[in-house]
């Protein structure tokens, strides 16, 4: 993924850190929170398969097919999940956001666990989208 390099992205609630082998134990704990790995509609690995899942994602990253992140909740510094930029299209430029899961304690404020959202945001759209998302986060 030559047009995207490994980076850390920090927001008000979470930090996306480049996925590393050192995240395995924390992510295994995160997937146990709510037994996310047992939900049929998630891509979360079993806790005992976390090392293999991280290794697979890192291999895809080295091949330029994915940019994986560990998600860290800032309030308590705990790892709460994984997300990736995947299916890169450098000519557009565009990526998909996928292979994502979060522990049950980090999902919707209602306690509901969901798995899918689709977005398409262009450079021209971004300022208005960001204002709206900031408004939602503040309320």
CATH code of the domain covering residue 95: 3.40.630.30
In a domain, 26, yes or no: yes
Q: What is the pLDDT of residue 9?
A: 92
42 pLDDT exceeds 60? yes
In a domain, 2, yes or no: no
130 pLDDT exceeds 70? yes
Rounded to whole angstroms, what are the CA distances from 6 to 3, 44, 54, 68? 10, 22, 15, 9
In a domain, 109, yes or no: yes
Q: Report cis status (omega within 30 of 0) of the bond before 71.
A: no
Structural domains in the chain (count):
1
HSE toward the beta carbon, residue 44, CA cutoff 13 A: 29
DSSP 15: E
Q: Confidence class of residue 82 from pLDDT cuts 50, 70 and 90?
A: very high
Distance CA 7, CA 67 (A): 9
In a domain, 94, yes or no: yes
In a domain, 3, yes or no: no
Q: What is the pLDDT of residue 137?
A: 83
Residues of the chain with pLDDT > 70: what percent? 89
Q: Residue 82, Cβ neighbours under 10 Å: how many?
A: 26
Give the pTM. Answer: 0.79
* Chain segment 15-30, per-residue pLDDT in tens: 999 999 999 999 999 9
């Amino acid at each position: 993924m030559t047009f995207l390099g490994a980076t850390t992205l920090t927001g008000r609630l979470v930090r996306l850190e480049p996925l590393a082998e050192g995240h395995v134990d924390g992510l295994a704990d995160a997937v146990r929170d709510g037994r996310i790995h047992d939900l049929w509609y998630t891509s979360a690995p079993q806790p005992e398969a976390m090392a293999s899942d991280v290794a697979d994602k890192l291999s895809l990253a080295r091949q330029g097919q994915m940019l994986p992140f560990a998600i860290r909740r800032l309030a308590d510094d705990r790892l709460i999940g994984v997300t990736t930029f995947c299916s890169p299209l450098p000519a557009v430029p565009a990526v998909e956001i996928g292979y994502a899961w979060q522990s049950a304690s980090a999902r919707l404020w209602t306690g509901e666990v969901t798995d899918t959202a689709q977005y398409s945001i262009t450079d021209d759209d971004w300022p208005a989208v960001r204002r709206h998302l900031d408004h939602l986060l503040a309320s």
